[in-house]
Structure 1
Amino acid sequence: MPFGHDMVHSLGTVVSLVNTSPATSAGEELLDLDELRALVDAREISGIGELTQRDLDQARRVRDAFHEIFSATDRADAIRLLNALLEGTRITPRLAEHDGHPVHVHYFAPGAALAEHLAADCGVALAHLLVEDEWERLRTCSAPDCERVFVDESRNRSRVYCDSRTCGNRMHVAAYRARRRA
């Protein structure tokens, strides 16, 4: 996918956020403010100060909205869901250069809460994916016991597992053993 650093980063952030959901993992992975701070730090989300319980509640709601977009049955549904999410943001594009990253675009308004920051930056990244007619790159892992989401960045859109080292390897080993038994 020929996308810039900011879009790739935002797509990775939305995947990380969605995969904290009980719908995609063994349980809630955003249990408290410490876990939310860990996500903010791991994804290098800039401009976020002190986090509150309200930030946690709002981040979970935004996460659930993004999960619905990943689960959309078709492009039109994904567009409708994304537009509904973006309507709640104050999108203010501006160029930024920080933390050793090249110049890139931030879409959140200065001083925005974490949830609005995520909705704006990650929502715009998903919007670009939809505009480029690449919405089918939003995937759910094909392993039978995994519901994690990912963005298929492969050139030929052939990725089917959230992680080739875990789910992919497990499924390939299982298929190999089944063939050996047959």
Structure 2
Amino acid sequence: MLFAHDTECALTAAAALVNTDGREGEGLPDVAALDAFFAAHSYSGRHEHTKTELQAVRALRPRLRRIWHTEVDEIVSIVNGLLREHRALPQLIMHDDEPYHLHAVPRDAPLATRMAVEAAMAFADVVRSGELRRLRSCEHPDCDNVLVDLSKNRSRRFCEAGCGNRAAVSAYRARKAAALHP
């Protein structure tokens, strides 16, 4: 494991959240989609199931997306801004059969606040570890998704949306076509 478990979960969730706003259309079209996202990424605590909460979560995406497309000083500015804005106070917490991990806002804070702070704390670990090169854009030409490369050898190139399979199929077809017409 490269980072602590909660950091890896927060990084993965942040990338997934950013990717809900892409070329494929709105990935969080309604409260039900936010409910599914909440469950898929094992969030706990307050969840209001409202349009206002959905809008607040959607509003976080552009700030997080900038992290993948900027330099370290701007990343630090975004992270510090999120932490200040939400009055983050890191504390070790244990809940839901999870070992001790960091929370920086109460579990009853609004979902968008918790998502923002958890992501900011995770990105702080990435910066402190000198591992910014693990934050990447998908290499498939038709995709604008982001990813977090948590592989040991830093070899992940494609997002979770099936781009790796599409690239492999394209490469296979190109090899077959080249073999037919040498």
TM-score (norm 2): 0.88
Residue 174 (1) aligns with residue 173 (2): no
**RMSD (CA atoms):** 1.8
Letter in 2 for 1:89: H
Contact 1:19 1:148 in 2 (8 A): yes
In structure 2, the residue matched to 1:45 is 43
Task: Compute the displacement of 1:110 (Å).
Answer: 4.5
Task: Compute the displacement of 1:64 (Å).
Answer: 1.6
Contact 1:19 1:25 in 2 (8 A): no
Contact 2:91 2:103 in 1 (8 A): yes
| Alignment size in residue pairs | 178
Matched residue SS, 1:3: coil
Cα deviation 1:132-176 (Å, max 9, x = unaligned): 11111111110011111110111222211114x821122122123
- Aligned equivalents of 2:159, 2:143: Cα separation in 1: 8
In structure 1, the residue matched to 2:57 is 59
Task: Compute the displacement of 1:85 (Å).
Answer: 2.7
Find the structure with the greater CA-based Rg: 2
Residue 128 (1) aligns with residue 125 (2): yes
Gaps of 5+ in 1: none
Task: Compute the displacement of 1:106 (Å).
Answer: 1.2
Contact 2:11 2:122 in 1 (8 A): yes
Task: Compute the displacement of 1:79 (Å).
Answer: 2.1
After TM superposition, the structure 1 = structure 2 runs for residues 2-41 of structure 1, keeping only pairs within 5 Å, are 2-21=2-21, 24-41=22-39
Contact 2:46 2:107 in 1 (8 A): no
Matched residue SS, 2:25: coil
Letter in 1 for 2:94: E
Gaps of 5+ in 2: none
Matched residue SS, 1:50: coil
- Aligned equivalents of 2:2, 2:140: Cα separation in 1: 27
Contact 1:92 1:109 in 2 (8 A): no
- Aligned equivalents of 2:20, 2:63: Cα separation in 1: 13
- Aligned equivalents of 2:41, 2:113: Cα separation in 1: 16
Larger mean Cα displacement after TM superposition, 91-100 or 63-72? 91-100
Contact 2:2 2:150 in 1 (8 A): no
